[in-house]
Amino acid sequence: MKNQKFGAGIWHFATYLDRYATDGYGEPKNVIDCIKLAGQVKDLSVVDINYPYFGGNFTHEKIKSELDKVGLGVIGITPEIYTKEFSRGAFTNPDVGVRRRAHELITEACEAVRFFNASYVKLWPGQDGWDYPFQVDYGTLWKHSMDGVGKLASENPDLKFVIEYKPREPRIKMSYDSVSRTLLGIEKIDLPNIGVLLDFGHAMYGGESAADSAQLAIDYGRLFGMDVNDNYRSWDDDLIAGSLHPLELFEFFYVLRKNNWEGVWQLDQFPFREDSVTMANQAIDFLKSIHKALDDLNIEELKEAQSRHDALKALKIAQKALFGAL
């Protein structure tokens, strides 16, 4: 197998809480603790890091020093524009001062991307949206969504910005909620340095085919990054990649291979109760099996079956490659 790079969100190694276990599912960790755990994952090359750095007042230099110790690089910086300060929105907040603060925070994150020579600024505007009928003016909300991203991209033409869309949570309805709506916004903004980060699980529980969503983003030249995980299609469970929908995950990676998309295979998983290092290792082992299965897949037979829309033949070819590789 070629030297495929694997990555993970640094939050994969953090301690979580929810509205029931408000005291958390373990001892609190700061970003340095998480970097040390990430360094124990055998095939991990890069991490996506939240900004500001959680758990302490850490400098870029301190973070880089800790990453260097464990041989990890940075693929992206994710500014935290979804916390309490932005509970009524970041780009779409009704308070112009809060919108300005979101812009300032992301601009700071841009400097971190440059410092680490990372690939992109990841925008996950999880609080941008609405919860009730008549709560917002949809036209104004959508304009603010696009204007906020467009201003950043135009001010930082040397950087890539990726929008990670999601159907819902924490807002009931999110501005960037699907691949189609996100692409519409990006095309309307019309700048070359804005793209999609396609989260497999978000596509799944949004009722999409992740493979089809990937093809659509690729067709528009906008697939800049990806995350993988799994869920039961009803919520963003962020379970271990391939645990529930291995065949659909295989098809997702087939579409990437078919289009010569080369990028990091990135984990976005939340091990509330499981050991984070073990979970990451197990997920990467499965992704390596998928990589081998792609090598074993009989492409010509598959193309022939697809040309006839022969579902049973196509499934048999895919299943033979995937399950024979495990």
Read off the pLDDT of residues 225-236 as tens digits, 9 standing for 90 and up: 999 999 999 999
For 308, phi then psi, to 5°, come to -105, 5
Mean of the per-residue pLDDT values of the chain: 97
Q: Is 219 among the domain residues?
A: yes
Distance between CA atoms of residues 210 and 227, nearest Å? 11
In the predicted model, is pLDDT for residue 1 greater than 70? no
> Minimal CA–CA distance to 125: which of 162, 168, 89, 85?
89
Q: Are 61 and 26 in contact (CB under 8 A)?
A: no
Domain-located, residue 319: no
| 241 assigned to some structural domain | yes
Domain that holds residue 27: 6-288
Per-residue pLDDT tens digits for 159-192: 999 999 999 999 999 999 999 999 999 999 999 9
In a domain, 155, yes or no: yes
| Per-residue pLDDT at 120 | 98
The one-letter amino acid at 184: L
In this predicted structure, the answer to whether residue 261 has a pLDDT above a threshold of 80 is yes
Whether 250 has a pLDDT exceeding 80, the answer reads yes
The b-or-e profile of 213-249 (16+ CB within 10 A means b, else e) is: bbbbbbeeebbbbbbbbbbeeeebbbbbbbbbbbebb
Q: For the chain, how many structural domains are there in total?
A: 1
Query: How far is Cα 72 from Cα 69, in angstroms, rounded to an integer?
Result: 8
Structure tokens at 12: 């994969």
103-122: average pLDDT: 98
179 lies in some domain: yes
Asked if residue 43 is part of any domain, the answer here is yes
| For residues 251-261, average pLDDT | 98
Q: Cβ distance 40 to 298 under 8 Å?
A: no
User: What distance in Å separates the CA atoms of residue 85 and residue 79, rounded to the nearest whole number?
Assistant: 13
Provide the CATH number for the domain around residue 234: 3.20.20.150
Q: How confident is the model at residue 41 (pLDDT cuts 50, 70, 90)?
A: very high
**Residue 96, CA atoms < 13 Å, CB-side half-sphere:** 0
Is 81 within the bounds of a domain? Answer: yes
Confidence label for 117 from pLDDT (cuts 50, 70 and 90): very high
DSSP-assigned letter for residue 300: H
Burial 140-165 (b: 16+ CB within 10 A, else e): ebbebbbebbbbbbeebeebbbbbbb
pLDDT band at 3 (very low <50, low <70, confident <90, very high): confident
| Conformational region of residue 242, where left means phi above 0, alpha means psi within -120 to 50, and beta covers everything else | left
**Whether the Cβ atoms of residue 54 and residue 14 lie closer than 8 Å to each other:** yes
pLDDT above 70 covers a percentage of the chain that reads: 99
Question: Helix, strand or coil for residue 194?
Answer: strand
Residue 180: per-residue pLDDT? 98
pLDDT digits 0-9 by tens, 280-325: 999 999 999 999 999 999 999 999 999 999 999 999 999 999 998 6
Dist CA 308 CA 283 (whole Å): 34
The answer as to whether 129 is a domain residue is yes
Residue 2 has pLDDT above 90, yes or no: no
